Structures are given as C-alpha cells and as structure tokens.
Copies of this chain bind each other. A is one copy, B any other.
Amino acid sequence: MPRKLRYGMVGGGRDAFIGAVHRKAMALDGHYELVAGALSSNPEKAILSGQDLGLDQSRTYATWQNMLEGELKLPLEQRIDVVSIVTPNHVHFSVAKAFAEAGFHVVCDKPLVHTSSQAEELIATVQKSGVVFAVTYNYTGYPMIKHAREMVRSGQLGKIRKIIVEYNQGWLATKLEESGQKQADWRTDPARSGAAGCIGDIGSHAENLVATVTGLELESICADLTTFVEGRQLDDDGNLLMRFAGGAKGVMVASQIQIGGENDVRLRVFGTQGGIEWHQENPNYIVYNPLDAPRQILTRGSAYLCAAAQKASRLPAGHPEAFLEAFANVYVGAAEAIHAKLEGRALAALEGDFPTLEDGARGVKFIERTVQSAASSQKWTAF
C-alpha cells in the first residue's frame, strides 16, 4: 500500500454538512490523512474548526490564501499533496485555480464553478500545471452505476433510445431558508449558489449520471424551471426534455419541492435490446429487463458484474454499501491518479475512475443552457 496522501481542506468546518462527508469518505480506505485546513470563510470559525478536528495548530489556517502560502513554504515531504474544496459554490473557482496553479492536486465539490468561462480558465490552468483534478459527482461512484455504464457502453442494451433521470427531493417545499438552516440559506442564494437552484444543486448530478452511464452527448434541451415557494430567489423545481446526438431522447425531473423525496435519485436507460433501472435510495441493485426474457435483479458484490463494479465494492452481496462508499470511490480514483503522477507512471487498468474537470465543465454548461432554455420561447435550445 502506498503512503497516505496529505490533504488540506477548504471549507467543511463547524455547521457545514458536506465537509464531514468528504473527510469520512477519505478516511474509509486509508488513502488520505488530513494535515491542514482553512475550514471556514469566517477566520475565527476556521481556527476553532481546526481544533475540533485535532489539526496541528500551525496548519490550521484562517483563510485559504494563508493555507496556500503556508503550505508552499513547507518542504515537499510535509506539504499537502492535494486540496479538497468543499465550500459553497461561489468559492470553488478562485481556490481551485490558485491551488492548481501552484501545483497542488485538487478535488472539488460540484457544481464546479459559476460560468463556463471560469470552467475553461480552470481547464487551461490544469492543462498547464498537469495536476490531477477530480469533481465529486459522488453518485457515479456507486458500483452499480459503474456496471450500468458497462452495460450501456458494451452494447448489452443495444442502441440507446431513451433516458429518464430523476432527482426527487422535498426538503425545500417550505421556505426553509428563512429558518436559518445553513444549507437552505446558501443553496437558495444566487450569489453563492449560482444562476440556478434546484437544477444546479441536484439537476447537475442527474446530468452527470446520464453522461457517465451513457456517454451520449446532449444536442438540445427544453427546460421548464419553476420557483414554487414564494419569495425564493432561485428555481426549486426543474423538468427537461432532452435530445441526444444519435437520436436518443430523455426526460429529467429534478425537484426540491416534491414532499417525501429524500434523496431519491433514479436512472432508467432503455436501448433496443433491454432496459435498466437504478435507485440511489436502495443502490445495491439494478433492475435489468432484457428484450424478451425475464426481468433480472443484479446485486452488488456478485461475480457476474464487470471489473470496475467489482473493484468499487468493499463488501459481499447482501451486506449493503451506500452513499459513503460511493463517495469514497471518487477519492480512491483520485488517489490512484495522484500516486501515478507522483510515481511518474501511467494509470493501470481500472485505475483513476472518477469524474474529471471536463465533467465539471460540462455540468456548468448544462446549468447555463438549462437556465437559458427555461427563459426561451423556443422549444429547443442547442446544447
């Protein structure tokens, strides 16, 4: 087993939600150790959060700028290898750019940045510096999603005709942002969340699922975005018709006002030879309907799954794996890529299976085009 990668975290301090998820995901397989942090945009809270986590005082930074500066002063063998960016969206761009420019590997939460021009700038930066850059589209980390991807890409479903993707939530059915709930607060604020609410926060996950599993390119979309809760500044519900290059059609439902939806992500893909269905709320199964043969239930941990699904799995069939393991799989792939860089070698087969900067950039474009389509009276907006 190679050495643990040293990481610093930006964001993820007291009151944050997703930072702790990233830390648990990174801890799970022993590939990473936390050695530095700028854990809040509030310098005082940043320091206290570092204490909470038992961080060395000298590497508990008040700001990410301090962290960048401080780490660069350290000898290479102490310096962080990688930065994990888990702030609200509006902070992603400057942090990611600065660290990537300075030669640090980057894992960044999604949606990547606010605009496609930012995304392009980031791509240029990363191309120049040659760092590894992963985006935590965590749902594609599920072993059964990797198997779904294999079923589609290998042609087992035939030519793909139709895709239905959903992300059903209900937590914003009331004006929760007025209650002081921190997650609701920033996610409904255009300044921090970006041009879209629901479609940016969860529609972008849906887009990534479809792109990852099918590899199909969106040709045009037709979106209807709604803000159901009065006074809210961003959309809390979005529905899309989609057309893909090659003729496949799609439907996306993303909502934060569908009461009863917890984190109900669902994907259905239909081809000429069969169809599949997957639900994240019970993610260890794929329902597979071959043409003219009985329905099958494929279960994680089974010997008949593809190599990528087997590699992404930690437990025997029937012992359920879930969200954290899927999240951890993104970090496993990033760790493999970083180690390969450190060792100056190419990735081995099955290594480095994680959502890339290009996935992140396409996700930003998806949000932009969706907002544009929703505002248009034309049916189809080219992607």
* A binding-site residues for B, Cβ under 8 Å: 1, 3-4, 17, 20-21, 23-24, 27-30, 52-54, 161-162, 164, 169-171, 173-174, 222, 224, 226, 228, 237, 239, 241, 243, 249, 251, 253, 255, 257-264, 268, 270-275, 277, 280-284, 287-291, 293-299, 301-302, 304, 314-325, 376-380
Once the chains bind, are A259 and B291 in contact (CB under 8 Å)?
A: yes
Distance in angstroms from A76 CB to nearest chain B CB is 20
Residue of B nearest to A21 (CB): B315
Residue of B nearest to A270 (CB): B258
Which 4 residue pairs across A and B have the least CB separation, nearest first? A262-B318, A260-B289, A263-B318, A320-B322
Number of copies: 4
**Residues of chain B lying within 8 A (CB to CB) of residue A228:** 161-162
Distance in angstroms from A167 CB to nearest chain B CB is 10
**Residues of chain B lying within 8 A (CB to CB) of residue A239:** 241, 249, 251
Once the chains bind, are A323 and B324 in contact (CB under 8 Å)?
A: no
Select the residue from A261, A287, A295 with max chain B CB neighbours within 10 A: A295
22 contacts between A and B (CB under 8 A): A27-B27, A27-B28, A27-B30, A28-B28, A30-B53, A161-B228, A162-B257, A171-B316, A222-B222, A224-B243, A237-B249, A239-B241, A255-B270, A259-B270, A259-B271, A259-B291, A260-B289, A262-B318, A263-B318, A294-B298, A296-B297, A379-B379
Once the chains bind, are B301 and A275 in contact (CB under 8 Å)?
A: no
Once the chains bind, are A54 and B324 in contact (CB under 8 Å)?
A: no
**Residues of chain B lying within 8 A (CB to CB) of residue A226:** 249
